[in-house]
Amino acid sequence: MEEKLYGNLGEKETELELANRTLARQAAEESIVLLKNDGALPICPGKLALYGMGARKTVKGGLGSGSVEERYSVTIEEGLRNAGYEITTRAWLDDYDREYEETYQAYVAMVEEQIKGMTNPMEIIPKAHSYVYRYPSGRMIADEDIETSDTESCVYVLMRQAGEGNDRRLEPGDYLLTDIERDHLTKVGAAYKHTIVVINIGGGVDMSFVEEIPGIDAVVNYVQGGEEGGNALANLLSGKVNFSGKLASTVMQHYEDVPFGEGFSYMNGDLDNEYYHEGIYVGYRYYDSFQKEVRYPFGYGLSYTTFQMKCLEAALEGDEIRLSVCVTNTGNQYAGREVVQVYASAPQGKLAKEYQSLAGFAKTKLLAPGESEVVSIQFDVSRMASYAEETAAWILEQGDYIIRVGNSSRNTEPAAVIRLEGDIVTQQCANQCTPVDRLETFAPLKAGSNGAESSWDIPVLLLDDTAVAAQTVDYREPEFIETEEEKAILDRLGPDKWAEFLRGGDLQNPPEGTLEISGAGGKTTTALLADGIRNVVMSDGPAGINIANKVKYMGGGKFAVAVIPERYNWGMMKAYAARMIPAGGKIVYRYATAWPVEMLLAQSWNLELLEEIGKGTAKEMEAFGITLWLAPGMNIHRNPLGGRNFEYYSEDPLLSGLCAAAVTRGVQSTEGLGTVIKHFACNDAEDNRNHSSSNVSERALREIHLRGFEYAVKESQPHGVMSSYNMINHVYTPNSHDLLTNILRCEWGYQGLVMTDWGSCNASAADAVQCAPAGNDLVMPGAAEEAEEIRNAMHEGKISETCVRKSAARVLRIMLKARTESVQQDRNKRSGDNA
């Protein structure tokens, strides 16, 4: 059988590219948030002034392993021009291009000097990317620019870039505006009748300018819109499409409002420790509980129309709360979609509680003016439970739970009261991942009531404690039941070869017969090819399939990179890679879709849309020979300076978890393909991520930082979970039995594969030998030395054969289910041999 190329020989756009491009544009349109509009929008196509570093250098997504090498991306300028706008400030934009090129070349020269003499690409890449390029602000906008623009309308694009390996800085040019940016905004705010500011940033930025600088009429939170972001924005600004996105993280007044923000990452003077003193009070849980004014609340977003929301019915059926909410478009011109958000306020008991937490949500269909829709939202009462460290139990404390319905955390109405006459334990656990450091006892000085008032005309529903089935966790690890095929293979191979499953495939000079998808992220073991065990390939994410877009097929299953990937954009690295590109061969094209980043997708609040994106990604995985997609990313937006916030959904664990579950369902609707949710857990800061300990209370860990993973696991059973680089309470996550076995497998019932992040078992970090006993099956990217260490430990009795076999079986199951032809051919071959 001819070797499958996993890609396209022709350079022409494929039907899959075109279909996914349409979906990517729809996703951006549904996710971009309108934060302010004093009559400036919509704006009809015509002459338009355009300024700002993101106008032409629009950032589609963040840097690092989550980047994508798509065929093309539409900038904001291109999108506006495509929609019929005439950009009349091209002279300013041309000058910016020249300034960018000069500063970028100086930056590259500096990096080249820093990596001079290095020869190992695996060392060059992280070293090079540790130096952050700061885009210039551009020259001052002159009176002549304004006069010749010949328009009353201006769009200014405020942009920042960030990525893996570095947290952002509380400095001008990063979180803070530069002086020249403030001068720009002051100038255009005064000069133009309508000034629209577009925020092209995958994280936070100081937005005090909105109120401090006169003349800013509209603000749009564009985030990072993927390959079709420019077209999507133009459709929204023109009114062709209505805004329907809602914030997935709070925009606070000032950085100083972030609880314990002065101690985040590099700012605390101790990169070896990250202290989570804020406890459960993250994001809106803090701002709402402490009654802090915010600039734009969680769940907030404007539209060109208006809506009315009314809860028609609230019912309690067993342990499930059901709400019916009627939403009406009360405008007279624009169709639109609204997001119904349900929050629960728990009573203050022995445990201090946040004022409210998200309990459910739904997005309406597109409603014409005057049209109504009744949406249904249901959720289990266990979503309202809190974790009591003293008794190691999830409990619903007695009292009144107020169910609130609205369209942001600061705009809700009470809809029902759930009354408990006694405490209810929903799950009895044992203490896990307990801290050893002293952490602040942090709660409002006066923990007020949850707002229950007897005068409300809302139903009071009595929860019968017999309706909630309390669970007591059995911490004996669930048995992994091997299939007959898995058992036969493992019996044939024997214990010494089981150890090979526990590490990734060879990076340098992979053996003959390896399934090699050049430019992908990694692969399972290639040490067992002679035994009839083919490997499978993984790709990074989560903004799309991160794979080299052009490769050469040299025949005999051999591929080589044909074009140097964007992530190797350094002179020395390019020169090294160019020497490795052989002559001849056929060019194979692998253009992946650059989806909007997760931070933006969460703002859609549309789980059906995210599931469709998962399905679109699965089609590309199948086309490119990818079995596991290392995505979605699920860490919490704990601080706006987090370097990878763009890769994560939200400050809220429920929204994060349900978004990840939706994408996973979409990917895994294609049998044999799977997601690997990451980074498990508390990888909320990037500086010194390999050696930093996230020191967090057990309650905050469970209620905030693990909860989203729990929802994703229980809702979708992803094929993989990736342990993070960092330690939790001074234990490396790949070596944490509490985290990977007791919580993940015993408490949540997870049956799938756990793998390390890349290189997390290098010297002075996690121990590869202790991974499998902890519940981490696969060490990535993998080396023969790691398998040898595991084998020796097994011979010395430090690891049991049973433990190694269980991890080997989990890896083998992924390999046998894979859709890649090399695996299927191998299975056919084995079937023939057995016959």
Give CA–CA dist 798/732, Å, rounded. Answer: 19
Q: What are phi and psi of 830, to 5 degrees?
A: -65, -35
Q: What are 577's two structure tokens?
A: 């890679």
In this structure, what is the dihedral angle of CA atoms 624, 625, 627, 633, given to the nearest 10 degrees? -20
Q: Which amino acid is at 481?
A: I
Give CA–CA dist 677/657, Å, rounded. Answer: 10
* Residue 819: alpha-carbon gap to chain centroid: 26
Beta bridge partners of 722: 755
Q: What are phi and psi of 252, to 5 degrees?
A: -80, 170
In this structure, what is the dihedral angle of CA atoms 229, 232, 236, 237, given to the nearest 10 degrees? 60
In this structure, what is the dihedral angle of CA atoms 749, 503, 163, 644, given to the nearest 10 degrees? 10
In this structure, what is the dihedral angle of CA atoms 808, 812, 813, 818, given to the nearest 10 degrees? 150
- Alpha carbon distance, N-terminus to C-terminus of the chain: 20
Give CA–CA dist 309/63, Å, rounded. Answer: 40
Apex 267 CA angle, 266 and 271, nearest 5: 35
Give CA–CA dist 564/573, Å, rounded. Answer: 9
157 secondary structure, DSSP code: E
User: Under a CB-based contact definition with an 8 Å cutoff, are residues 142 and 188 in contact?
Assistant: no
Q: Which residues contact 108 (CB under 8 A, 6 or more apart)?
A: 570, 571
C-alpha distances (whole Å) from 550 to each of 64, 559, 564, 566 are: 19, 10, 9, 12
Based on its alpha-carbon atoms, the radius of gyration of the chain, rounded to whole angstroms, reads 27
Question: How many other C-beta atoms lie within 10 A of the C-beta of residue 254?
Answer: 11
Residue found under tokens 């009360």: 330
**Active site annotation includes 757:** yes
Q: Which of 288, 757, 777, 826 is catalytic?
A: 757
User: Under a CB-based contact definition with an 8 Å cutoff, are residues 249 and 203 in contact?
Assistant: no
Q: Which residues are catalytic?
A: 757
